[in-house]
Chain A
Amino acid sequence: MKPYDAIIIGGGHNGLVCAAYLARSGRRVLVLERRERLGGAAVSEEVFPGFRFSVFSYVVSLLRPEIIRELELPRHGLHVLPLESTLTPLADGNYLAQWNDHDRNRRELARHSLRDAESYDEYGLRMHHMARAVKPLLAMAPPDPASLSPRDLLGMASLGGHLRSLGRERFHELCRLMTMSSADYLDQWFECEPLKATKSASGIIGTLAGPRSPGTAFVLLHHYMGELDGVFRAWGFAKGGNGSVSAAIAAAARSFGAEIRTSAPVEHVLIESGRAAGVVLQGGEEIRARRVVSSADPRCTFLDLVGEQHLPGELVSAIRRYRFRGSSAKVNLALGELPRFTCLPEPGAHLRGAISISPSVEYLERAYDQAKYGEFSRRPYLDIVIPSLLDPSIAPPGKHVMSIFVQYAPYQLNGGWTDERRQALGDTVIDTLAEYAPNIKSAILHRQVVTPADIERTLGLSEGNIFQGELSLQQMFFLRPAVPWARYGTPIRDLFQCGSGTHPGGGVMGASGRNAARAMLEEGV
């Protein structure tokens, strides 16, 4: 049997994107997914009859517009419904709402602070410029800064040229965003505490760091990169849940001729004479290919699928150093009725956007403090959406789905993630939410709690880190996952990496998969 041109290990969104681009260029491609369903962390499951949960990732924004265009994802079923607001309820019954409409937003902000209402526009413009400045870097294969090879020197020169083209002001702003804490950065713009907290929360997503930790402004910027219809910082919900994102990409891949097999767990990469010759499935089946691409995270790829005996010592050390430290959890609810927030009891537009439990920076920082020492936050940060209000198809009529993203639930929990601790986390989350929406407990029909241990066990994401590795400066760009293996290659000939453990990192972006495919095609794959 003729070997495939490429086997992609893992049917998460990056693996599927990589497969689609390779197939689109005429290669014969096979995707092998361990689970019975595709999508990795971008999946929709009918966990309870009639209720479709986006079990893990739950919103769309960072998916690269060029991928949406080039793979014609709308034709393959992707339909993104915009989230138009963020509500931050406060303990005293007040709230802060942020709206997409400029005038409505300003009016609401002015209720809290006239100065912040003025600052907001300038901030938005500044972040717009920053997102534009970073955008070209997302599709760049990172050059090796210590190499003297012509290709890398050219890459560094190109990077330098791009940075210089930003001009003084924007270059320095970028430097500050890359090195500051999100709290310090936002302190320079705003005075309203709930506003600062809600914005700085983007800096702690999936990250074991608090808003006062240097480096979180970078994560803030990373989450600003999302674009919907040309508008930065726009978030949406995929009709049918995040699984439909993966389904659309899979459909695109198949339309180009890619083969996809589910329930096909790969045991290890077949290495012969120092090159990747294919894979071996659990059960012993050997499938040969001219090239193998792993979309698994770097620890899994290098230490499990390959094995350190095949790898140079520096890479093994670097991968052992590469940090995961998952800190996120999910609580997915089936509701019999909508939550009634004390601050805005009547059903309204505010329920159709995101609801952020982030009343102050101190609240978030204290939540982080607990996680540092191996406990989950007694009062966690919650990012909540009720997608059934945008997409009635995911719940029975009159009933609702609520998706709650939780920070912090550290993977390294004192005593481990037992069933009791999982339930305790769920209780804590509900108790927290109940402080703002007292009817929530009686509204819950079913509850699903997903801990970092569950994420690791179900999806193979080491330590439950949703980004396949922390988004910290020490392991980004040319350092992700390790120098000099940041260009999607590996020391093993014909073995590549395409997961978000490579540049530009995590979130449902697809950029790693696309960049990897392009790098492979450039090398004559």
Chain B
Amino acid sequence: MSARTVVLGAGANELVAAHLLAQAGRSVLVLDSSESHPADIGWVAPQIVRALDLEGHGLEVKSPDPWTAVQVTPGERLELSSDVAKSVESIRRYSPGDAGRWPAFCERMAQLARALESIAVQRPPDPMGEGFEAIAEVLGLSLRMRRMGRQPVEDLLRILPMPIADLLDDWFECDALKGALAGAGILHLRQGPRAGGTALNFLQHHAGCAPGVFRPPASNLRRILAKLPGIEIRKARAAQILVGAGKVQGVLVEGGEEIAASHVLSGLDPKRTFLQLVDPGWLEPEFVRALRAIRSRGAAAHVILELEREPDFAVLAIAPSLDYLEKASDDVKYGQVSQRPYLEARVEDRTLRVHVQWVPGNSADAAARESLGDLVVRTLGVTAAQKTVLLPADLEKAFGWPEGQMHHAEPALDQWLWMRPTPGLARYRTPIGGLFLCGPAMHPGGWMPGACGYHAAREVLRKA
């Protein structure tokens, strides 16, 4: 039997996993079925950088600065940047009290970001694990948290399940400031800022960032990984994962070729991996039930506008208040596009890339794209020479994001840590021997590119 390892997908996660396994002496083949790959947004963990010497290979990490700006009055914007003092000045125009609290807020949130980083770079603890190692892992995590002090532990337990609206109401009074911040809490969630668990999502966007910056950096991670030697990348799509005697035997590629393999790592979302690529006879009904219960709930669309003129902003968020965001989220609950949507627009020369929420996954026709494009242009108050609209279904087709969900599995509180994407799958192994999951549906999610692949590879190598 061949000792080949096949990796399905060629995003950052899959390539990190592939290179780590190749480093450990495996023969690795990557099957890339995507026409294009999305940009890498998120903090790249230092462990990954070190393990693959990415700095030596030209890894560039760029943090947006200012990272957001919201319109407060026509002509006046509140801007937040990595420079805490600059942000304080910007806030002071609208609320001296909030400006005074900003530095303390940044410090408190930064502590929590460190805690989440620490959690992200370990595989999820297994509180039910048998044996000394498992208990040691849980205790180790608790001690690491405790060493940060009393406050972070209290904060962690209290804040993580909170609605971001409550957290922001505790600290600030300025509607626009709260709106600007709350955006990070509702990104890629089909919930409004008053929903529990949005504070966790907010903090996940803070991991790896400077204090006061609540948007993760962008990097060229995937591009670098694709050029590193040591693995074979082939443009091909997997049609089936071949299983025999409860173990992976290989991969059948579209076109008919059978590739023998002892290990398969799938970067595809868990539902597609199992329900489309594995013979259902190998799946227990309870397992299928748990798979089906994984919620993707994509809620965002991408709109790319080619403007006639360069706009007078580098970044703009339409989020005048928490109520505005909450009302926008109400619409999607009933299957409608937000009439007054939440928008995050970033400028590159005369191209505006807009993230739009909330857009339900139910329609994907030209009329829907047209109407969303118009809505975005109207809301931003710009004139576009050209509009490209990617609805959730389009994002699914382009990037394999189920229902347009970038994290594959909704970044909700109940799909986090040892529950992500289901308790049985949280440690990258699957009921099929030799089959592992390495996509963003796994811990720590899609906020940290490459991290899921990193953990998956280490899991493969554990008890090799």
A368-403 residues with Cβ-Cβ distance < 8 A to B are 369, 372-373
In the complex, are the beta carbons of A184 and B295 less than 8 A apart?
Answer: yes
- Could you tell me if B128 and A167 are in contact, using CB atoms closer than 8 angstroms? yes
Also in contact, A172 and B161, with CB within 8 A (given A180-B414, A365-B333): no
Q: Check: B234 CB closer than 8 A to any chain A CB.
A: no
Across the interface, B154 reaches (CB within 8 A) one of A146, A148, A213, namely: A146
Chain B window 68-109, contacts with chain A (Cβ cutoff 8 Å), 1 for yes, 0 for no: 000000000000000000000000000000000000000000
Interface contact A168-B161, CB-CB below 8 Å: no
A478 to B419, CA, bound (A): 22
Q: Is the CB of A474 within 8 A of B195?
A: no
Give min CB distance, A377 to chain B, whole Å. 14
- Interface flag for B157 (CB, 8 Å): yes
A385 to B159, CA, bound (A): 38
Considering the chains assembled together, what is the distance between the CA atoms of A473 and B150 in angstroms?
A: 19
Instruction: Annotate B185-208 by CB proximity to A: 1 below 8 A, 0 otherwise.
Output: 000000100111100000000000
The 3 closest A-B pairs by CB, nearest first: A473-B161, A179-B414, A215-B196
Chain A, Cβ-Cβ closest to B289: A188
Q: Closest B-chain residue to A321, C-beta based?
A: B170
Whether B334 sits at the interface, judged by CB under 8 Å, is yes
What residue of chain A has the Cβ atom nearest to residue B149's Cβ?
A146
A164 to B413, alpha carbons, bound, how many Å? 21
Residues on B with beta carbons closer than 8 Å to the beta carbon of A213: 191, 194-196
Q: Does B153 contact A (CB under 8 A)?
A: yes
Q: Provided the pairs A148-B146, A180-B414, A214-B197 are in contact, do residues A474 and B161 lie with their beta carbons within 8 angstroms?
A: yes
The count of chain B contact residues (Cβ–Cβ below 8 Å) is 34
CB contact under 8 A between A479 and B157, given known A175-B414, A179-B197, A323-B166: yes
Q: Which of A148, A172, A184 contacts B423 (CB 8 A)?
A: A172
B314 proximal to A (CB < 8 A):
no
Per the bound structure, the CA–CA distance linking A179 and B333 in Å amounts to 19
CA distance A362 to B330 in the complex (A): 11
Beyond the given pairs A184-B295, A474-B162, 4 more chain A to chain B contacts, judged by CB atoms under 8 angstroms and listed by A's residue number, are A175-B414, A179-B196, A188-B289, A214-B196
Could you tell me the distance between the alpha carbons of A160 and B142 in the complex, rounded to whole angstroms? 12
Evaluate whether A474 and B158 lie within 8 angstroms (CB atoms) in the complex, with A168-B423, A179-B197, A323-B166 already known. Answer: yes
- CB of B161 within 8 A of CB of A175, answer no
Contact, CB under 8 Å: A175 / B419: yes
A497 CB within 8 Å of chain B: no
Identity of the chain B residue whose Cβ is nearest the Cβ of A374 in the assembled complex = B323
Question: Is A515 an interface position by the 8 A CB rule?
Answer: no
The interface bits of chain B over 151-195 (1 if a CB of A lies within 8 angstroms of the residue's CB, else 0) are 001100111011000100010000000000000000000010011
Given A176-B419, A362-B334: A214 in contact with B157 (beta carbons within 8 A): no
CB distance from B330 to the nearest CB of A (A): 5
Contacts of B154 in A (CB 8 A): 145-146, 483
- Alpha-carbon distance between A213 and B295 when the two chains are bound, in angstroms: 15
Contact: A372 with B326, CB < 8 Å? yes
Do A145 and B127 have beta carbons less than 8 Å apart? Answer: no
Q: Smallest Cβ distance from A50 to chain B, in angstroms?
A: 44
| A362 to chain B: closest residue by CB | B334
- Tell me whether A214 and B333 are in contact in the complex, defined as CB-CB below 8 angstroms, given that A146-B153, A146-B154, A474-B158 are known contacts: no
B-chain residues with CB within 8 Å of residue A214 when the two chains form the complex? 161, 191, 195-197, 412-414
- Chain B residues positioned under 8 Å from A164 (CB to CB): 127-128
Which of B154, B295, B327 is packed against the most chain A CB atoms within 10 Å?
B154
Check A171 for interface membership: any CB of B closer than 8 A.
yes
Cβ of A212 within 8 Å of any chain B Cβ, yes or no, is: yes
Can you offer 19 A-B residue contacts whose CB atoms are under 8 A?
A145-B153, A146-B154, A147-B150, A160-B127, A164-B127, A167-B128, A172-B128, A175-B414, A175-B418, A184-B414, A188-B289, A188-B293, A209-B196, A214-B191, A215-B196, A474-B159, A474-B162, A483-B154, A483-B157
Name the A residues within 8 Å of B295 (CB-CB).
Answer: 184
* Chain A neighbourhood of B146, CB < 8 A: 146, 148
A231 to B: closest C-beta gap in Å: 27
Residue of A at shortest CB range from B198? A214
Interface assignment of A271: CB less than 8 Å from any CB of chain B: no
- Find chain B residues with CB under 8 A from A188 CB: 289, 293
Chain B nearest CB from A475 CB (Å) reads 8
Taking a contact as CB atoms under 8 Å apart, the answer to whether A215 and B161 are in contact is: yes
Compute how far the CA of A479 lies from the CA of B160 in the bound complex, rounded to whole angstroms.
13
CA A438 to CA B383, docked complex, whole Å = 56
Q: Is A472 an interface residue (CB 8 A)?
A: yes
B153 touches A369 (CB 8 A): no
Residues on B with beta carbons closer than 8 Å to the beta carbon of A434: none
User: Which of A145, A179, A213, A483 is most buried by chain B, counting CB atoms within 10 A of its CB?
Assistant: A179
Chain A residues, Cβ within 8 Å of B194: 209, 213, 372
Binary contact track B26-60/A, C-beta < 8 Å → 1, others 0 = 00000000000000000000000000000000000
With a cutoff of 8 Å between Cβ atoms, the chain A residues found around residue B197 in the complex are 179, 214-215
In the complex, what's the smallest C-beta–C-beta distance from B25 to chain A, in angstroms?
34
How many angstroms from the CA of A315 to the CA of B418 in the assembled complex? 32
Set of chain B residues within 8 Å of A146, measured between Cβ atoms: 146, 150, 153-154
The answer, yes or no, to whether A163 is at the interface (CB within 8 Å) is yes
- By beta carbon, the residue of chain B nearest A184 is B295
Interface string of B278-290 (1 = CB under 8 A from A): 0000000000010
Contact B333 A373 (CB under 8 A): no
Please give the distance in Å from B360's CB to the nearest CB on chain A.
14
Give residues 132-180 of A contacting B (CB, 8 Å).
145-148, 160, 163-164, 167-168, 171-172, 175-176, 179-180
B128 & A179 in contact (Cβ 8 Å cutoff) = no
Within 8 A of B (CB), among A330-373: 362, 365, 369, 372-373
B220-244 interface with A by 8 A CB criterion: none
Q: Mark A465-490, 1 if CB is under 8 A from B, else 0.
A: 00000001111001100010000000
User: Taking CB as reference atom, which chain A residue is nearest B161?
Assistant: A473
Task: Report B-chain residues with C-beta under 8 Å of the C-beta of A160.
Answer: 127
When C-beta atoms are compared, the residue in chain A nearest to B426 turns out to be A172
State the CA gap A365–B157 with chains docked (Å): 28
CB distance from A146 to the nearest CB of B (A): 4
